[in-house]
Structure 1
Amino acid sequence: MFMGFFSKKKTPPTPAEPVKAIQELPQPADVKKISVGSVKSSVLIQPLITEKATAAGIYLFKVVPTASKSEIRKEFRAKYGKDPRKVNVLNVMGKTKMRGRIVGKRSNWKKAMIYLAKGETVDLFQ
């Protein structure tokens, strides 16, 4: 009765259509390629101006949290043309703030303190 479903007679498979080759689009010759190594985000985010640091001759910057002292030194030298005598870094923890019963937290960030040789100055507002 329903045994036709289980019969041993096989039908030959139908031949599949051949796969067409993908044609590549012609590349224009006048397109410039940019090397990935030349594109670098800035390490120094913004200068921090305080009376205390200005009186002491220290330059403060907000920097990328993953930046190292050597990266900060190279960026400062490239941007302002002065060689720092010393670079100190400090991780600043964000404060916890409340608005009513809702508790929030400000972001953590990194501060760089850059010391120059005696008598050297940098114009941060150029």
Structure 2
Amino acid sequence: MPTPHQIIVRPLITEKNTILMESNQYSFEVLREASKPEIKRAIETIFSVTVTRVNTLNVRGKMRRRGRESGYTKDWKKAIVTLAAGDRIEIFES
């Protein structure tokens, strides 16, 4: 079983995710094999917050070209985590 730091690959900081933060939702790239309960436990362990909801989606890789060569970027999994009222993750605030 992977550790919490292995489950959460990286936080996603985009314009859309910044708007979601106002409604107490945060986005992360997570391990493709991770389930919603594992993601919830990992976020609660790492950031010491209370998670009320976890939504996940699989993001398909995009086609990319380099000259004549073409290929796809890797597929990955995204998790949108809703926190309890009053909880915040400080890493996003800076």
TM bracket (short chain): 0.7 to 0.9
> What is the TM-score with the length of structure 2 in the denominator?
0.82
Residues 55-94 of structure 1 correspond to what in structure 2 (within 5 A)? 55-57=19-21, 58-94=25-61
3-state SS of paired residue (2:49): coil
| Higher RCO structure, 1 or 2 (CA under 8 Å, sep 6+) | 2
Larger Rg, first or second structure (1 or 2): 1
Which one-letter code corresponds to 2:10 in the other structure?
Q
Q: Distance in 2 between matches of 1:82 and 1:119?
A: 9
**Over aligned residues, Cα RMSD in angstroms?**
2.1
Note if 1:123 corresponds to 2:90: yes
What displacement does 1:84 show? 0.8
Q: Distance in 2 between matches of 1:102 and 1:47?
A: 31
What displacement does 1:85 show? 1.2
Structure 1: gaps spanning 5 or more residues = 1-36
Count of residue pairs brought into register by the alignment: 89
Q: Distance in 2 between matches of 1:105 and 1:118?
A: 40
What displacement does 1:102 show? 1.0
Which one-letter code corresponds to 1:67 in the other structure?
A
Q: Which residue of 1 aligns with 2:72?
A: 105
What displacement does 1:105 show? 1.0
Note if 1:54 corresponds to 2:18: yes
Higher helix share: 2
Structure 2: gaps spanning 5 or more residues = none
Identity percentage of aligned residues: 38
